[in-house]
Structure 1
């Protein structure tokens, strides 16, 4: 896990600053308060303030990586660092909130049903899933945070990829086996090659975001067309690594 260094400045007293720029640290006179009572906005309640900190942390870490200091984040928010730590006691706690907001919060419960609904052709199911999934992950924040988390070895990537395997990879392999008349994964465990083939498809979708938000190379054609082509190519080739058919 990332540990705070001495340069984080936790012991330094700084003037109190508010998230709302219209709020002042200097108390106005009674006369001034009377004139402005009906015009000044109320201070943010704790829930609102916490949400604002979390939202800005997502943008901040996506820009600077997880080595970015909380002192600088507090400056961007125009609050004191001690106030930030009142809501998130450690940097690890703040990073965990970012993980929950970006990687867990964006997950749709409907995706599992979409993948396994055999009323629709497998190709259309996978194409629709990856279209919807791409809308969530192919963003500046998602791609860059995932890359930075991997470089810092924070453990976030391993947690997310475990969730991905359980919620997507295993379901896709089960559906592929059913499509081509192969044994269920309950009868025959998933093979290493099957997992590798799913990784290949998934990584191809993820790489579209890397090209855009790491290499600054915009896509040259419609995203959905690219996804449909990758899914079709995957399904046309994956059968060669599937277990043999069960003999009658």
Structure 2
């Protein structure tokens, strides 16, 4: 990282969800290291406490809670104050690779709520501040499952396709107001998100496909680099794109 890069977010306020671990944690730390005041959200308070305790030199404000709830959204905006320059919608959960004929209502509703509704609600909440400022950048974390049908179960695949659609719609409406919205589509990443096969049929159908196509597991810091680039002014002419950071999986 160059000397110039270390100040890309100086004086800016960023909100990062899912900041207690994995991609969210790596992104929160990268933004804060580059000068941002980071409002870090996660459902697990202990993870956020560890984040702050491990990095007392960084400007990290933590907000624990379920990001799909309006209560947590309100707390995030209160912590951010009257200006939000960047948002990274990273919090997400996996399904059990259940196909449409096996997915249960609880899994479907929870995955769609966390992966899609929470992204919409936080975006909706920050847009008035960004519109007033005439600037802002939002990055939503989609997935390789948003680009193909063979990377997850019905619920997760649907949710990540929805994130991509939401990203493009938001870009169309708000780019003219100075707000850029983009998405990152990761492949396999070393995070704490569990992805068990709860369907024998899914294992039989997807297992051989994944064995021949899935690239090596990426580190969270590699995704954080792509996310912070899209949030920064280095990507000033980029809006409405889905950046695949998947080790080339989408090219297969």
TM-score class, shorter-chain normalisation, is: 0.3 to 0.5
TM-score (norm 1): 0.34
Greater Cα radius of gyration, structure 1 or 2: 1
More strand by share: 2
TM-score (norm 2): 0.34
More helix by share: 1
